[in-house]
Amino acid sequence: MNMPKDPRLIALVRRLPAKILKEFCKKYSKDYGLKVYARRSELVSQILAKVPEEVLIKELYMKYEQAGNTTVHLFKLEGINVKKITDLISPRTELSEVPIIVDMMWINNTKLMIRFEYVEPILVVNEEYQLEVRNKLQVAFAIMHVLDNFVEVRTRSRNTALWIIRMLAKHMNSSYEPLRFSRDQIGSWVDWAKTLRNARFKPIRSALSTVSLTAREEYDLREIEEFEEWWKKEERVGGIYIKAEIPTGEELGFGINAEYGKIMFKTFASEEEIQYVIKKAKQILGFS
C-alpha cells in the first residue's frame, strides 16, 4: 500500500473530476494495476492506495493543485523586485484570517508562484446537531510574471486578491493597477472565440442568448444580425462568457468580468488550460 500521507495531496485527488481520474488510470493501468472503468469513488481509492506519492505529485498535484473552478484576478505591479519578498515566508503555525506566504517557487525562470494560506471561519453543524464556528483552511496564489510586471492572483474573493496585491506592492515599495477590459477588448475576446471549435458565448448582463460560432476564419461574428444589432446599441458590457473546444481537445468554459479584470473558470481547468487563456488575456491587454 502506498497511501500518501500529505492531506493536501489526498484532498486534491478526491476533488478531481472522473474524466481526469480515468485518464490517469488509463495511463498507469499497467504500471500499478489500475482499473479504468470503475465508479469515481473506486478510482480515487485505488489511486491513493496503489500509486506512489512522487508519481501523484508529478502527474496530478503539479498540474491540478491550482486548477479547478479557478478565479484569476489580473493586476499590473510596477517594478517587481523578488528579493524584497523572499524573506516573507512564514511557518504554517502562524495561520490566521490574514493571508501569509508559506511557499514560493519559480516557473521556467520567468514567473514566481507565491502560495498564501489563511483560515476562514465557517458555520457548521457539529456531531450534536448544533451550530458551531470552525476555521477552514483557504489557499490563494499570486503568480508574478517578472519580465512584464503582470500578476495573476488566484482566489475567489476579490477582497483577498486586493489584500494580496497591496501587500506585495507595499513590500516592494511599488504601486499596482487593477487591470480592466474595455468594450473594444471584449470585442477582441469575441473575435478570438470565433476561431475556436464549437464555440459559444454570451455577454454578461445582457439579454442576448447564446450564439453558436464556427471555426471558419472568414466567419465574422458581427455578421450575425442579433449580435450586430445589440452591439450597435453600445450598451454597457459587463463581460462575456465563452465556452469552446481549445487546441488540446478539451472543452473549456470561462467568464470574463470586464470591470474587475478577472477571469472565472466555470469548468475544471488544468494549469495548461488556464495559461492558454491567460496568454490571450495578456495579448488583448497589450502585454505581449
Over the stretch 17-59, which tens digit does the pLDDT of each residue have?
A: 888 889 899 999 999 999 988 888 899 999 999 998 888 888 8
Higher pLDDT, 257 or 124: 257
Assess contact for 199 and 211: CB atoms under 8 A. Answer: no
Q: Mean pLDDT throughout 154-163?
A: 94
Strands (E), 226-268: 239-245, 251-257, 262-265
- Confidence at residue 216, expressed as pLDDT on a 0 to 100 scale: 41
User: Can you give the pLDDT at residue 138?
Assistant: 85
- Considering only residues 170 and 91, tell me which one the structure prediction assigns the higher pLDDT: 170
Q: Which residue has the higher pLDDT, 87 or 170?
A: 170
71-178: CATH class: alpha beta
What global pTM score does this model have?
0.77
Domain boundaries, the chain: 7-64, 71-178, 183-285
Tens-place pLDDT, residues 186-202: 889 988 888 888 877 77
Among 93-97, 141-145, 156-160, the range scoring the smallest mean pLDDT is: 93-97
The Cβ-side half-sphere exposure at 239, using a 13 Å CA radius, reads: 15
1 pLDDT tier (thresholds 50, 70, 90): low
Nearest residue to 268 (alpha-carbon basis) of 54, 34, 21, 10: 21
H-helix segments, 116-261: 158-171, 183-193, 225-232
Average pLDDT over residues 60-86: 84
Residue 7 has pLDDT above 60, yes or no: yes
pLDDT at 219: 37
Looking at residue 110, what is its pLDDT?
A: 92
pLDDT band at 163 (very low <50, low <70, confident <90, very high): very high
Rounded Cα gap, residues 238 and 182, in angstroms: 10
Residue type, 123: L
- 14 vs 228 pLDDT, higher one: 14
Assign 204 a pLDDT band (cuts: 50, 70, 90): confident
Q: Tens digits of per-residue pLDDT, 213-260?
A: 444 433 344 445 666 666 677 777 788 888 888 887 778 889 999 999
The SS3 of residue 202 is strand
**How much is the pLDDT for 3?**
57
| Poorest-pLDDT segment among 61-65, 105-109, 147-151, 167-171 | 61-65
pLDDT of residue 129: 67
Please tell me the predicted confidence (pLDDT) of residue 17.
Answer: 80
What is the pLDDT, as a whole number, of residue 225?
A: 62
Q: What is the pLDDT of residue 226?
A: 60
**What local confidence, expressed as pLDDT, does residue 260 receive?**
93
Give the position of cell 451550530: 131
Sign of CA dihedral 157, 235, 280, 76: negative
